[in-house]
Amino acid sequence: MAFNDFLFRKKYYGYKWSIPCEVCGSGELQSEEKKIQEWETFESYANRNSDPENWESEYYEGAFIAELSCDAEGCGNNIAVSGQSIVEITDIEIHDPEDGPQAIESVIYLPRNFSPVFNLIEIPMEIEFPIRKILYKSFELYWLDNDACANKIRQFVESLLDSYRVKKRIRVVKNGTAKYISLPLHKRIEEYTKTRADLGEILMAIKWIGNAGSHHSLGLENQDLVDAYRMLDHFFEEAYFIKTKRKKIKQLTKTILKTKKPVSKSKRKK
Ligand SMILES: [Zn+2]
């Protein structure tokens, strides 16, 4: 799966959510009017009633819960989503000059939880499950908390280096006594960079975003997370997927060169 900016959007309109279905790989997850329940929060309702004259639609605060179903025939994949809802006002120009621009109010859904969550990027199967799981957790946090999500991505990088057996500590002898000192992530990435310079740099850049996520006062922007995932996606491509692709092409080339025929023709001869 190629990097898909569309998956990272945090605002949804109406019922056509069009999230690619991971079960069948061909359909898209959509909602329907009857499958979304949306209501105004008690606080918003109370504020509106206490001062109706000064109430503006933009003050509206709601909550929603919805079921998304795959639109491919026979798939049957359903996921749940919940979150906040707000009202957005868009001015649209109409052609009658006497009426001027008209305002359209639409309910916007801001998801905070998908269950089960979908993959924001493809994770190579070669990465062991306990480590992959850390990245799945970051996908859940993406919808909930930017800083926590970045922190989780940083944790994933750390575990990935463990799996590559990049040293975690060094032995230091001081006043005749030997002791082990833990290496910070920065130093460990530098160690890794000695063997894979191009890939090490990507991990280092991701680490800087992760570090910012650990200092909550900074407040990461959504785009920072998209950047981190985009870099991680490229890392996976270079470190894993390209090898698989090369292997497949090598095999295919070898078969065709050997038989001097397209594969379909060789098969038919059997
Ligand atoms: Zn499906």
Q: What residues in the chain have per-residue pLDDT under 50?
A: 269-270
Structure tokens at 251: 């095999």
Cα 175 to ligand 1 centre (Å): 65
Cα 152 to ligand 1 centre (Å): 28
Last residue of a domain, one of 118, 135, 168: 118
Q: pLDDT for 30-86, tens place per residue? A: 998 899 999 999 999 999 999 999 999 899 999 999 999 999 999 999 999 999 999
Judged by DSSP in three states, 249 sits in helix
Beta strands in the chain (DSSP E): 12-13, 19-20, 28-30, 36-40, 62-70, 78-92, 102-115, 169-174, 177-182
151 and 223, same domain (yes or no): yes
- Whether residue 245 lies inside any domain: the answer is no
Cα 95 to ligand 1 centre (Å): 42
User: Residue 99: what pLDDT?
Assistant: 67
62 and 132, same domain (yes or no): no
User: Residue 103: what pLDDT?
Assistant: 80
User: Residue 270: what pLDDT?
Assistant: 46
- Whether residue 93 lies inside any domain: the answer is yes
Give the chain's domain count: 2
134 and 99, same domain (yes or no): no
Cα 264 to ligand 1 centre (Å): 30
Cα 69 to ligand 1 centre (Å): 8
User: Residue 96: what pLDDT?
Assistant: 65
- Whether residue 205 lies inside any domain: the answer is yes
Cα 16 to ligand 1 centre (Å): 15
Cα 65 to ligand 1 centre (Å): 20
DSSP state of 71: -
125 and 85, same domain (yes or no): no
User: Residue 241: what pLDDT?
Assistant: 87
Domain that holds residue 21: 1-118
Cα 71 to ligand 1 centre (Å): 7
Question: The pTM is what?
Answer: 0.86
